C-alpha cells in the first residue's frame, strides 16, 4: 500500500487532513481525494493546470472550460498552432491576461516569450506590446469599474495610476 499525504498548497509541506477534507472521497465522490490526497513522492512538480482542469471537469463544467485551463501554460513553450483550435481563443486570452497582470503588478522580468506575439495576434492585437494593451485597454477598463472593487484594490489601482499613467 502506497503512503499518501496532503500538502500545503503554498509550501509543499505535508499537513494533517482534518475537518471537511478528512474524508474527501465520501464528501466529493473522489474528486478532492484525487486532487489533494496525492502520492507521497520527492517530486513535487505537479501540474496545477491539469489538476485545476480535473477539478472543473469533476464539477461538470463544459469541456471547453476545463480544457482551456489545462492548456493555459502552453503559450509559454508552444506556438498557437499547438493549441487545439477550439481552445485557442480562450488559451490566448488567459495567457495575455496573465501577462497584463504581471505588467500591472510589476512582476515582469523583461523576458518575452518567443510565442507571445502569436497569442496577442489571436486576440486581434497585431504589432502591440503587452505594456500597450495593459495601459490602453486593461487599466481604463479597471478604472471604469473602480467602484466595484474592494478598497485595497482601489487604493492599489489609484497609486498605480499616479505612478505609471502620467508617463
pLDDT tens, position by position, 135-152 = 899 999 999 999 998 888
Q: Would you say the pTM of this structure is higher than 0.75?
A: no
Instruction: Answer yes or no: is pLDDT of 39 > 60.
Output: no
Strand partners, 38: 5
What pLDDT score was predicted for residue 51? 87
b/e per residue, 118-153, with b = 16+ CB within 10 A? ebbebbebeeeebeebbbeebbeebeeeeeeeeeee
Amino acid at each position: 500500500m502506497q503512503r499518501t499525504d496532503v500538502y500545503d498548497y503554498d509550501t509543499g509541506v505535508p499537513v494533517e487532513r482534518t475537518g471537511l477534507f478528512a474524508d474527501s472521497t465520501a464528501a466529493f465522490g473522489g474528486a478532492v481525494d484525487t486532487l489533494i490526497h496525492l502520492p507521497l513522492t520527492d517530486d513535487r512538480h505537479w501540474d496545477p493546470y491539469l489538476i485545476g482542469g480535473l477539478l472543473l471537469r469533476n464539477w461538470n463544467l463544459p469541456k471547453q472550460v476545463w480544457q482551456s485551463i489545462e492548456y493555459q501554460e502552453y503559450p509559454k513553450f508552444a506556438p498557437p498552432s499547438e493549441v487545439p483550435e477550439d481552445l485557442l481563443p480562450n488559451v490566448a486570452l488567459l495567457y495575455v491576461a496573465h501577462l497584463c497582470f504581471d505588467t500591472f503588478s510589476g512582476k515582469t522580468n523583461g523576458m518575452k516569450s518567443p510565442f507571445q506575439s502569436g497569442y496577442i495576434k489571436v486576440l486581434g492585437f497585431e504589432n502591440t506590446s503587452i505594456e500597450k494593451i495593459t495601459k490602453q485597454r486593461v487599466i481604463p477598463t479597471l478604472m471604469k469599474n473602480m467602484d466595484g472593487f474592494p478598497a485595497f484594490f482601489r487604493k492599489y489601482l489609484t497609486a498605480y495610476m499616479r505612478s505609471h499613467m502620467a508617463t
